[in-house]
Amino acid sequence: MSDSYDVVVIGAGPAGYVAAIRCAQLGLSTACVDKFQDKQGNPSLGGTCLNVGCIPSKALLDSSEHFHRIEHQIDAHGIKVKGASIDVPTMIGRKDKIVSTLTGGIKQLFQANKITHLHGHGRLLGDNKVEVSGGTEERVLKATHVILACGSEPIDIPVAPVDDKLIVNSTGALDLNKVPKRLGVIGAGVIGLELGSVWRRLGAEVVVLEALESFLPAVDHQIAREAQRVFQAQGLDIRLGCRVTSSDVSAKKVTVRYSNNEGEQSEELDRLIVAVGRRPNTADIAAPDIGLELDERGFIQVDDHCRTGITDVYAIGDAVRGPMLAHKGSEEGVAVAELIVGQVAHVNYDVIPWVIYTAPEIAWVGKTEQQLKDEGLPYHTGMFPFAANGRALAMNEAVGRIKILADAHTDQILGVHLIGPYVSELISEAVVAMEFSASAEDLARIVHAHPTLSETMHEAALAVSKRALHKTN
């Protein structure tokens, strides 16, 4: 095995493994160093996303959604099901199988693209050397270019230290061995809502303690208000403005103490998930004397093209500024590979879609209404509810809406906000439209198949110029 490569990538999450594949496609000799180990202690490619993030959480969201529908919604179709029950180990086993299929797939992609995979901790040294240690290899690699894609890890809080038994982080929350009777979640962010929903749908009483006074502040306020109302109705007990002060663990229970504007409170719980954000995995990514600059929160400092201050060293994904999303990291990986071979590469950070995979799902791209107001940009709004969409009614999923914000002068679409069924799929149309600088009128003139959920997007686009067809007021 050679010790010299055109490119060495540190990290094999969706940022790093995609960067490695694109580098190899472009004819660069490429090695990828990754330290992740699965539950059995075996090296496993794919990073947080495939192993303990996007994919396993979506597998559990799907299983729990099936159960919830059978228990609470299938009756409406005239289907009677008695005695449905959930077999948690089977559900977790299905999730693990999906993970191993996909992580094994990355291994095959590495072999097909002749990418060398080294298992161990990668550390950047001077002269673009990479030390690999602590895994199955102890080596120093020489690279012409280095891509740092070391990702992120859950933030811990001292008032609720994770013990992987009663107090877990997002990783442990994907592996609970039974449905807790009473589950606490600290943090009403994306993970708290997705994983809180999984266990709520399976029957847990779920209390979500959020420090902020506002719910999902990054989401368009109107959509966030609707989401909060629906989630509360589903039984997620979301408590805002709660400052957790301490927790005690006994043999079977966790007691969490917190304060809110009504004073000191406490909750006795069977399990507690801590989901208060993620921090970059950069503690030991580079030798201290080589000048890799981190910001005050540990993110690697990069320019618009993911270049660090060190020549030919790039950083991508969760370890750098911008949203902590798999697709954002992957696009940065492709862009950096193409920059290395002298191509023109660009990531459009203004048009990155977000999805929260609750039921109903929430998705958005571009600016929120509050951002447009803050920036003083005049806009028109077009909104259409799924309640007036034939397909949504046929599916018994007529909840939510699509809202399009368009420039008042040019009609260019500035933001699209969705809450409702399968909006994780519907958002793509908005992304394509915005990527091509489409106007609301452009969307309004596109033929949408009938009956589909996508007609809601069409009607929202028509509503921007007040001509939605299936609206009574």
Q: Provide the minimum distance between the beta carbon of 152 and ligand NAD in the complex, in angstroms, as a whole number.
A: 8
Q: Which is nearer to ligand FAD, 151 or 400 (CB)?
A: 151
Is residue 276 close enough to count as binding ligand NAD by CB under 6 A?
Answer: yes
296 to 325, contacts with ligand NAD by CB under 6 A? 323-325
Residue 12 binding target from ligand FAD, ligand NAD, none, CB below 5 to 8 Å by type: ligand FAD
Residue 300 binding target from ligand FAD, ligand NAD, none, CB below 5 to 8 Å by type: none
141: closest CA among 155, 131, 150, 149?
Answer: 131
Residue for token pair 């999906």: 98
Q: Which is nearer to ligand NAD, 412 or 424 (CB)?
A: 424
Which of 184, 189, 196, 317 is in the footprint of ligand FAD by CB under 6 A? 317
234: closest CA among 197, 271, 183, 267?
Answer: 197
What count of Cα atoms within 13 Å lies in the side-chain half-sphere of residue 394? 7
* Active-site pick, 77, 305, 450, 470: 450
- For CA atoms 294, 297, 298, 303, the dihedral sign is negative
Question: Cα separation of 453 and 384, whole Å?
Answer: 11
Is residue 33 close enough to count as binding ligand FAD by CB under 6 A?
Answer: yes
234: closest CA among 193, 188, 191?
Answer: 193
For residue 226, the Cα-to-chain-centroid distance in whole angstroms is: 21
φ and ψ at residue 309, rounded to 5 degrees: -75, -5
φ and ψ at residue 13, rounded to 5 degrees: -80, -170
Is residue 49 close enough to count as binding ligand NAD by CB under 6 A?
Answer: no
Is residue 188 close enough to count as binding ligand NAD by CB under 6 A?
Answer: yes
Residues that contact ligand FAD, how many (by CB under 6 A): 35
Is residue 431 close enough to count as binding ligand NAD by CB under 6 A?
Answer: no
Question: Cα separation of 290 and 189, whole Å?
Answer: 36
What count of Cα atoms within 13 Å lies in the side-chain half-sphere of residue 273? 33
Is residue 277 close enough to count as binding ligand NAD by CB under 6 A?
Answer: yes
110: closest CA among 4, 38, 9, 232?
Answer: 9
* Binding piece for ligand FAD, criterion CB under 6 A, among 13-21, 95-103, 181-189, 207-215: 13-21
Is 346 catalytic? The answer is: no
* Binding piece for ligand NAD, criterion CB under 6 A, among 134-142, 309-317, 350-358, 446-454: 350-358
End-to-end CA distance of the chain: 70
* Binding piece for ligand NAD, criterion CB under 6 A, among 9-17, 113-121, 210-218, 221-229: 210-218
Is residue 186 close enough to count as binding ligand NAD by CB under 6 A?
Answer: yes
Residue 196's alpha-carbon distances to 191, 203, 232, 275, 369, in angstroms, are 8, 11, 12, 10, 28
Q: Return all residues near 411 (Cβ < 8 A) that are at least 6 apart.
A: 380, 439, 440, 441, 464, 465
Q: Provide the minimum distance between the beta carbon of 372 and ligand NAD in the complex, in angstroms, as a whole number.
A: 23
Q: Provide the minimum distance between the beta carbon of 131 and ligand FAD in the complex, in angstroms, as a whole number.
A: 10
Which of 176, 209, 292, 413 is in the footprint of ligand NAD by CB under 6 A? 209
* Binding piece for ligand FAD, criterion CB under 6 A, among 104-112, 144-152, 339-347, 413-421: 144-152
Is residue 308 close enough to count as binding ligand FAD by CB under 6 A?
Answer: no
Is residue 35 close enough to count as binding ligand FAD by CB under 6 A?
Answer: yes
Which of 10, 244, 405, 457 is in the footprint of ligand NAD by CB under 6 A? 244
Instruction: Answer whether 148's CB lies under 8 Å from 124's CB.
Output: yes
Residue 281 binding target from ligand NAD, ligand FAD, none, CB below 5 to 8 Å by type: ligand FAD
* Binding piece for ligand NAD, criterion CB under 6 A, among 34-42, 140-148, 206-214, 371-379: 206-214
85 to 144, contacts with ligand NAD by CB under 6 A? none
Is residue 180 close enough to count as binding ligand FAD by CB under 6 A?
Answer: no
Alpha helices for 297-368 (secondary structure H) = 326-340
- Crossing angle of helices 455-464/423-435, nearest 10°? 50
For the residues of 217-272, what is the DSSP string, one character each?
TTS-HHHHHHHHHHHHHTTEEEE-S-EEEEEEE-SS-EEEEEEETTEEEEEEESEE
> Helix or strand or coil: residue 102?
helix
Q: Which is nearer to ligand NAD, 185 or 464 (CB)?
A: 185
Residue ranges binding ligand NAD (CB under 6 A):
157, 186-192, 194, 209-212, 244, 275-278, 323-325, 355-357
What residues are annotated to the active site? 450
Residue ranges binding ligand FAD (CB under 6 A):
10-16, 33-36, 47-49, 53-54, 57, 121-122, 149-152, 170, 191, 281, 285, 317-318, 324-327, 329, 357
